[in-house]
Structure 1
Amino acid sequence: MRVLVTGAAGRLGSAVLEALEGHEVRTLVGDARDPAAVRKALHQVDAVIHTAALASPEVAAPEVVFATNTQATFVVLNEAGQAGVRRAVVASSLSITGLPFARSRPQLPYLPLDTGTPLQIEDPYALSKQVDEATAAMMHRRHGMTVAALRFPFLGDPARLAARAAMLAENPAAGAADLWSYLDLRDAARACVLALTAPLSGAPVIYVAAPDTLMTAPTEDLLAEHHPGVPCRTALPGRTVAIDLEPARRLLGFTAEEPRP
C-alpha cells in the first residue's frame, strides 16, 4: 500500500513509519491544515494514518490547541476523501473522556471504560478529539471512506514508560484519571497499521491499550481507593486495565505484545 503519514516527526508518527516496513510510505511536508500541501502529499495514496496534532491542552493557548487539531483533521480527511482514499486511521485519545485534564473531579459512571462511557470534557484538547471523531464519522458519510479512530492512552518507548511507572509508584493518584493505562509506541504503531487492513466499515472508535496497568498493586484495590463507589461491570483480576479492549481484539485482531517496562 501507499500510505501517507502525517505527524511523521512526532512520537507516534515516527513509530508508525517503522511499523510500515514493506509499504510505500509518504510523509506530509508542510502544515496538515494546508489543503494544497495535503493534496500534493496524497497523490496516488491508498490510505492515510493521521497522527499530526498538538498533544496536550498545555502546549499552547486553548484556542490554538482546539483550532489546530480540528482543522488539521478536517483538511486531511476531506482531501483524502476527495482523492479517492478508502481507508484512514486517526489518532484519538483516552483524554477524550475529559478526566486526564479536568479541573474538577468528574466521576465515571461505571468501569471498565468503553466507547459508551459519557464524555465529561473540560479542556480544549479533549474537545478537539471529540470533534475529530465526529469529523471522521462525517467524512465516512460524505466520501464513503472508512475512518478508524483509535483512542490511545499514555504512549512511550520503554524508557518513557519506565519513568512513568516509577512516578506512579510514588504517587498512584496521578494515574487515576487515565486508569494507570499505557501502551508501548511499537504496539500503538502496529495497531495503526492493522487498522489499515482490518475488515472495518464506517467510522469505528476503538480503545487500544496494554491489557495491564503500569502499577504493581491490584487494579481492584486501586479503584477502591481512587474511584470509590464506581460500579464494575466485569471482574478486573490482578493488574488488568479497567478499559474494555475486546473491540480492539475483535475488530483489529490487536493485543499488545511489548513487555511491561
Structure 2
Amino acid sequence: MNRVLVTGAAGRIGRAVVDALQVRRTAVTALVLPGTAEALPADRVVEGSACDAGAVRAAMAEVDGVIHLAARPAPNHGTPSEVFGQNTLGTFTVLEEAGRAGVRNAVVASSLAANGLPFAARPLSPAYVPLDMSVPTQAEDAYALSKLADEQTAAMMTRRHGMTTVALRYPFVGGFTDRLRDHAEKVGADPSVGAADLWSYLETRDAARAAVLALQVQGGHHAFHVAAPRTLAPYPTVELLRRFHPTTEIRAALPGRTTPLDLVPARQLLVFTAEYEL
C-alpha cells in the first residue's frame, strides 16, 4: 500500500504500527488527538477525534488502507455512555469515511474483553477453550459491548462498501520495557491476576505486526484472536484452568503453557505467530 491511515497513532500500539509501516517504507497519515503527536514519525499528522467525520475525511486523503486503533481502552476511561458511545461512533465514522473514499482494506482493534471476562464485576469462566469466536459472550460492561459492536460494524461495512475488514481481538498488550514484565511478575506470584485474560498477552511489536499483516487480507470480514502462543503464567495451562475455571470444557490438548485461545485463524490468514515472548 502507498499510504495507510493510523487512528490512535499516539497510543501504545499506534506508535508501534507507525514504526512498522515506516520500516516497510509505507507512507503514514496519523490521526491523533490534539497535543499527542510528539515525536511521532508519521509524514502527515491530522489532529482530531475519530468521532469527527470532518477530521476523519481530511485524514483519508490519498489513503488506501486503514488501521483503526483510536478508542477508550477500558471501561474506567470515562462513564459507560462515554466509553460505549465514543468507541462505537469512532469505529463507525472511520469505516464509513474509508468506504466512501474507496479504501479497500481496514483493520480494527477489537479485544479479548469482547468475551466479557476481563472487566466483569465478578469472576467469569468461558464455556470452553481454546477460546474462539463462537464462545458465547458474557459481556456486561460498556467496553466489552463496544468491542462487540465494533466487530459488527466492521462486518456491516464489508457488506455496505465491499471493503475487506479484519477485527483483531487483542489480549493484554505491553512492551518488554514498560508494563509487560511487571504484569508477568504479578501473574507469576498470583496467577489469579491473569485468570480473566486466560493468562494471554502480546508484545507491542507483535501487536503492530499483526495489524500491518491484516492489511493484506483480501475479501470479506474476519475477526479472530492474536496472542503469544504461550501464557505469561509459569504454570501448566491445564492446571490453571482446572483451578480458576473448573466449569470450562477443555476441548483440545494444551501442553505446557499453551495459550488457551484459538490462534489458528491468525496463522492461516496472516501467517502470524508472535516473535517476542517472555
TM over 0.5: yes
Match of 1:180 in 2: 199
- Separation in structure 2 between the aligned mates of residue 231 and residue 137 of structure 1, nearest angstrom: 29
Q: What's the offset of the Cα at 1:108? A: 1.4
Q: TM-score w.r.t. structure 2 length?
A: 0.92
Match of 1:23 in 2: 26
| Superimposed CA distance per residue, residues 116-150 of structure 1 (whole angstroms, 9 cap, x where no aligned partner) | 11111010000000110010011011100111000
- Separation in structure 2 between the aligned mates of residue 8 and residue 54 of structure 1, nearest angstrom: 13
- Separation in structure 1 between the aligned mates of residue 203 and residue 141 of structure 2, nearest angstrom: 25
SS in 2 for 1:75: helix
Q: Is the 8 A contact 2:109 2:169 kept in 1?
A: yes
Q: What's the offset of the Cα at 1:70? A: 0.4
Q: TM-score w.r.t. structure 1 length?
A: 0.97
| Superimposed CA distance per residue, residues 69-117 of structure 1 (whole angstroms, 9 cap, x where no aligned partner) | 0000000000000000000000000000000111133331111100111
The reply to whether residue 256 of structure 1 matches residue 274 of structure 2 is yes
SS in 2 for 1:66: helix
- 5 Å-filtered alignment, 1:74-113, equals 74-113=92-131
Q: CA RMSD in A?
A: 0.9
Q: Is the 8 A contact 2:170 2:227 kept in 1?
A: yes
Q: Which structure 1 residue ranges, 5 or more long, are not aligned?
A: none
Question: Partner letter of residue 136 of structure 2?
Answer: P
Deviates more, 1:166-175 or 1:76-85: 166-175
Match of 2:155 in 1: 137
Where in structure 1 do 4 or more consecutive aligned residues deviate above 2 Å? 104-107
Question: Partner letter of residue 204 of structure 1?
Answer: H
Question: Partner letter of residue 172 of structure 1?
Answer: P
- Separation in structure 2 between the aligned mates of residue 230 and residue 190 of structure 1, nearest angstrom: 31
SS in 1 for 2:215: helix
Within the candidate set 119, 131, 141, 1:123 is matched to: 141
Question: Partner letter of residue 181 of structure 1?
Answer: S
Match of 1:208 in 2: 226
Q: Give aligned pairs, total.
A: 259
Match of 1:11 in 2: 12
Structure with a larger share of its residues in strand: 2
SS in 2 for 1:20: helix
SS in 1 for 2:250: coil
The reply to whether residue 168 of structure 1 matches residue 171 of structure 2 is no
User: What's the % identity of the aligned pairs?
Assistant: 57
